[in-house]
Chain A
Amino acid sequence: MSQDTATYDAASEFNDRASLSQKVQATLHKYPWLSSTMVLVVASIIFSFFNENFLTPSNFSLILQQVAIVGAVAAGQTLIILTAGIDLSCGAIAVFSSMTMAKLVQGTPGEGIPNGLAIWLAFPIGLLVGMLGGGINGFLVTKVKLPPFIVTLGTYNVFLALTLTLTKGTVPSIEMDPFLLTLGNYVNLGPFRVTTGVLFMFAMYMVLAFVLRYTSWGRHVYAVGDDIDAARLAGISVNRVLMSVYMVAGLTFALAAWIVIGRVTVASPNTGGDLNLDAITAVVIGGTSLFGGRGTIFGSLIGAIIVGVFRNGLTLAGVDLYYQLMAIGLLIIFAVSVDQWIRKARK
C-alpha cells in the first residue's frame, strides 16, 4: 500500500512538472470540442473588427440558416465517423430522398401517374429511402466487408445516377406541398429570426446527443469506433451497431433533405453537390477524430457553424471567394493536425 502511495505521489509530481504544452494537450484530449469552440469564438471576434454588421442577431440568423442543411447532414455523418467510418454518399442520399418525396407528391402526369401520393405516404417513403440508402452502405460495410470509403464512393455515384434518372436531368418546377415546405417558414426568437429548419436541426442534435450519451447504443457506437476487436470481445454485436449507425445516418440525411426543400422551395437534383464534403468538413473541424471513437455530436454543430462564420465573415470583410475556399481548406488541415497532436497524449 505504501508503495502504491509512493507511485501515486510520483505520478502527481510528474503531472506538476508537465510542460504547458503537455497540459494543453491533455485538456484538449479530455474535451475534444474545446479547440473548435475556441476557433469559433476567436474567429467571431476577429471578424467583428472587420465589419460592424458581423456580430448582429440578423447576421447570425442568416449564418444559422446557411448552415442548417450542412449541420443536419453532419449530425448523421458524425455517427458514422465515430465508428471510424466515413460516408461520402451523404449528400447524394439527401438529394435522392428529397427527389423521391417531391416526385411522389407531384406524380408524373406524362407517364400515366397524374395524381401524386398523399403527403402522409410520400414523406415517410422519402425518409425510408434515406434509411434504405444508409442500409445499403451498412450492408456493404458489415457483410461484404468493404472499406466505408470505397463503399460510399460507389454508392455516391449510384444515388446521384438514380436522382438524375428520376428527374431526367432537369430541374422540375414543382408546386410543392405545404407540409414539405414547413421547414422554410420563419420564426422570431427574440432578436433572432430563423427558419424552422434551423430549430429542426437543433432538435436533431439534441436527440442524437441524448442517445449517444445516455443509452447503451451510444456507448457501443463509441466502443466500436474506439477498438472494434475489444467491442466484439465484450459481447457487442458489432455488425448490428454498424448497420444501425448507417441506417440512422441515412435517416438524418433524409431529414436534412426536408430542410433542403424548405430552403430552396423546390427539390432540385443540383442542390446537394457540395453537401458530401461539407458535412465531413464540419465533423472534422468539430473535433471528431477520423480514426473513430473520439468526438462529440455538438462538436460537429460547432464545426458547421465555424464554416458558416468563415464564409460569412470573409465575405463581409470583402475577401475574394477564392481565398474563402482556401481558408476553409487550411482550417481542415489545422483541425486534423490538432487531432493528431491530441491523440499523441494517449501515450
Chain B
Amino acid sequence: MSKSPILQAVGLTKSYGRVVALDGSDLELFPGEVLAVVGDNGAGKSTMIKCLSGAEIPDEGQIILDGQQMSFKRPNDGRHAGIETVYQSLAVAPALDIASNLFLGREMRKKGPLGSVFRMIDSSGMRKAAKEHISALGIGTIQNISQAVETLSGGQRQAVAVARAAAFGQKLIILDEPTAALGVRESRQVLKLIESLRDRGMPVILISHNMPQVFEVADRIQIQRLGKRAAVVTPKTHSMNDVVAIMTGAMTVDKKDQALTPVR
C-alpha cells in the first residue's frame, strides 16, 4: 500500500497583510479517493484551495502534482495542469445553453479552413460531446442539451459545472462547497455525481461545511485549524462530534491514529 499521492502540498503558507491565512499546511490526495477538507471559517480552507488551483500564489511551500513540482502563476495554470475547480456560486452563464457552458472558454473549432481561417466553432460537435459527458455522469434528468442553463434547477446547473470539470479535469477535481447554494434534493444529486466521479477513478477534493454530506462521500477527512492541518481522519474511525471537536481545538488526534495514507 505505498501509493504515491497524485497531489501533494507541503508547508503551504499564505498571508494577506498581517493576517496569516495559511500557516505551513500540508495536504495529500491519493488516486481515486474523495478527500474532504473541513474547518471553521478562517481555518484556511479557501486559501488552500486557491493555492492548489492557481488562483493565489502561496508565499511559501510546494505543490507537487503527479511527482512534478508546480509553480502556478495565474488561475488558468492549474487548469492547464489538469486541475479543475467547481465553485459554490453556480459558475455557469445562465443565458447560454448547456453545451456552450460545458465548453465555455474551450470551444471546439470546425475542422479545415472554416475553423482555422474563419475560426468557426463546431456547435454540433460540441453538442454531441456534451451529451456524452452528461450521460457518462449519469445525469439523466437533463432533457435537451441545447436548452438554456437558466431553465435548469440549481442542482442541474451545478451538475453542468461538475460535468464540465469532469470533462476537462485530467488529474483531479476540486469542489468548493458545491452544495452550499442548493436544497436538500439538489444536494443529493451533486453527492451522487461526486460518487460517480470516484467510481470513474477521478480523485476529488471536497470542501464543505456540511458534516453529514462529508461523512457520506469522503474517504478521508482533513481538518484545518488556524491555517494548519489539525488532523486527517476517516468517517469510520471518528464521529462527527470528534471532527467538530478537532475543528475547534477541543480534541487532538495522535499522528499514529490519523489516516495519512490512502484508505481505499
Q: Let me know if A214 and B93 touch, CB within 8 A.
A: no
Q: Which of B90, B95, B140, B141 contacts A293 (CB 8 A)?
A: B95
Contact between A234 and B95, CB atoms less than 8 A apart: no
Is there contact, CB below 8 Å, between A215 and B91?
Answer: no
Please state if B121 and A220 are interface contacts (CB–CB under 8 Å). Answer: no
Which residues does chain B contribute within 8 Å of A227, judged by CB atoms? 91-94
Size range of the chain A interface in the assembly:
20 to 34
Q: Does B104 contact A (CB under 8 A)?
A: yes
Do A346 and B140 contact each other (CB < 8 Å), given the known contacts A234-B104, A236-B105?
no
CB distance from B190 to the nearest CB of A (A): 16
- Out of B91, B96, B109, name the residue touching A233 (CB < 8 Å): B91
- Which residues of A lie under 8 Å from residue B89 when comparing CB positions? 229-230, 233
Binary per-residue interface labels of chain B (70-107) against chain A in the complex, 1 for a CB within 8 Å, 0 otherwise: 00000110010000010101111111100011001111
Among B94, B104, B120, the most chain A Cβ lie within 10 Å of the Cβ of B104
Interface size on B, residues (CB 8 A): 30
Given A7-B141, A230-B93, is A215 in contact with B100 using a C-beta cutoff of 8 Å?
no
What separation, in Å, do the CA atoms of A214 and B122 have in the docked complex?
A: 8
A4, B141: Cβ atoms closer than 8 Å? yes
Q: Does B150 contact A (CB under 8 A)?
A: yes
Q: Enumerate A211-264 residues with CB–CB distance to B below 8 Å.
A: 214-217, 219-220, 222-223, 226-227, 229-231, 233-236
User: Is A8 close to B, CB under 8 A?
Assistant: yes
B residues contacting A by CB (< 8 A) are 75-76, 79, 85, 87, 89-96, 100-101, 104-107, 109, 118-121, 123, 140-141, 143, 150, 164
27 contacts between A and B (CB under 8 A): A8-B143, A214-B118, A214-B120, A215-B118, A216-B107, A216-B109, A216-B119, A219-B104, A219-B121, A220-B104, A222-B96, A223-B104, A226-B94, A226-B95, A227-B93, A229-B89, A230-B89, A230-B92, A231-B93, A231-B104, A235-B75, A235-B76, A236-B105, A293-B93, A293-B94, A293-B95, A294-B95
